[in-house]
Structures are given as structure tokens and as C-alpha cells.
Amino acid sequence: MEAMWTLSGFADEISPDLDEQVALVTSLGLRYIELRSAWDVNVLDLDPAQLQRAKATLDAAGLGVSSIGSPIGKIAITDDNVPHLERMRHAAEVAELFGAPYIRMFSYFMPPGADPDSYRDEVISRIAALATIAEEAGVTLIHENEKEIFGDIPRRCLDIVEAVNSPALALTWDNANFVQCGVRPFAEAYPLLAPHVAYLQVKDALVADGTVVPADEGDGEFRETMRAFAAAGFDGFVSLEPHLGYGHSLGGFSGPENWTRAYRAFTSILDEEGIAYS
């Protein structure tokens, strides 16, 4: 059977209002979103009534949730991790409510100027604890490569997934983030990480200043990477994270026009490359 890529996206970059998010993604034909925030509230901070309202809204629109776009792992490595484990347990409960198979996570902010490798053992220990919670809950953590965290470059991303060695931990791939860390995604990251990638995030960036741009308009070796994943039989969720308005450590914004522009840029590549998607 031919592999089928399933499109999703960080719909909170369209609008803070969930109804406006839903209206645009459904008009584009998406059947899933990556739930990161609604009404300007992070998904893990929505109160029970808001969670139920969000669930009812998505259900009424026939939309599923591909992943909880959580901020798990976005605290300093020197911060107390015990409250964060409770936050992870809540994330697992939220994933169960929405039927999301994945929870996005990160590998802790490093102190400015510090050598990330000096915190390696602490990072692995903490992520192993998070993965244990995920495994017990029947959900998979997907680690995002991002600047200023331990797992920013390919070598350390690989170390995380191999050292933790959990069936509840995989990688999500982001070309733009690698560019912003001085990494050539296809040439340097893909050969190391491809076997561990379960999920793709879609954005590109310029080497010169790290500016995020639509797919294949930057220096992220985007088309080559997508072609390689397709040739290797990747068959999973692919999530638009445009960041075409602005981005920050806990999210970003694009607006409806830029979100649509990002969608068109990416699906044009899939069409040209003959990659099946829904």
C-alpha cells in the first residue's frame, strides 16, 4: 500500500480563536490539527470547561488532534523537575481526551554560555522519567530539535532517543530549527536521525539571519529532505508550523493569509514530488 502523509498544523498560528482556526483548516481540507493553544491559553493551561469546549468544537468540525503541542521540556535544566512531571501527567490526560497519539516535547533550556554536554546525564534522566509516564499512558513523546535546548543538533538528538531507548519516545523533525542551529538538515541530520523520526514539522529558514520562510524558500534543504523521507516510506503526520508573522519560545503567529501561503507552498512540493497526502 502506498504511504500516505496526513496533513496537520499548529492552527493557533491562524488566530487565537478556536472557531477561526477550525474554519480555515477545514476550508483547506485538513482533518487534523496540532493543538497548542486556544483563546490565547496554552493547551496544558486550559481549564476543564475550556478543554471540553475545545473537544466539542473539534468534534463538531470532524477534526482530530495529531499531537498535543505541549511545552513539556521547555524549562531550564536547573529548574525543579518534580512539578514538570505532574505537568507531563496532565499532558497525557489531555492527549487521552483528544485522542492524540503524540505529545511534542523538548530537552530543556541550557544555561546561557554553558556546554550542553555537561548536562547530558541530567537531561537523559529527566526525559526517561517523562517517557515512563508517556508509556504508561499509551502515548508517544516526540522530541523537537530546537535552538537553546540540549537536543538542538543531530548528535544530541540521536543521543537522547538512543539513551532513553523507550518505545514511547521518538523524534519530530524541523528543517528550520536545524538551520537556525547551523546544521544542514539533509546533509548532516537526515542520515543520523531518519530511522527515529515519527513526525514532521513544516517550516524552512534562511541561513543568513534565521528568518523563517515557507517550505523550500530557505536554506533548509527542504525538498531533498521530503523526497528522502518519502523514498524511505515515511507514513505519518506532517504538521505545518509556519511562524511567518513571528515566533517565540512557546509558539508563533502567522495569520490566515500567511498560514494559507505556507499550506500552498508545502502542498505544491508534495504534488510536484508525487507524495500522496490527505
Q: How many residues does the chain have?
A: 278
Type of residue numbered 176: A
Long-range contacts at 83-90 (CB < 8 A, ≥ 24 apart): 84/126, 84/130, 85/129, 85/130, 85/133, 87/44, 88/130, 88/133, 88/134, 89/133, 89/137, 90/44
Average pLDDT over residues 229-251: 85
pTM above 0.85, yes or no: yes
Would you call 86 helix, strand, or coil by DSSP?
A: helix
Structure-block grid coordinates of residue 243: 511562524
Q: What is the β-pairing status of strands 237-240 and 6-9? A: parallel
Condensed to tens digits (0 to 9), the pLDDT of residues 99-152 reads 999 999 999 999 999 999 999 999 999 999 999 999 999 999 999 999 999 999
d(CA 171, CA 273): 24
Structural class in CATH, domain 6-273 = alpha beta
Q: Is the pLDDT of residue 252 over 80?
A: no
Nearest residue to 221 via CA among 268, 273, 267, 179 = 179
Average pLDDT over residues 175-180: 98
Average pLDDT over residues 230-259: 84
Instruction: Give percent above pLDDT 90 in the chain.
Output: 94
Domain boundaries, the chain: 6-273
Would you call 215 helix, strand, or coil by DSSP?
A: coil
Q: Is the pLDDT of residue 247 over 60?
A: no
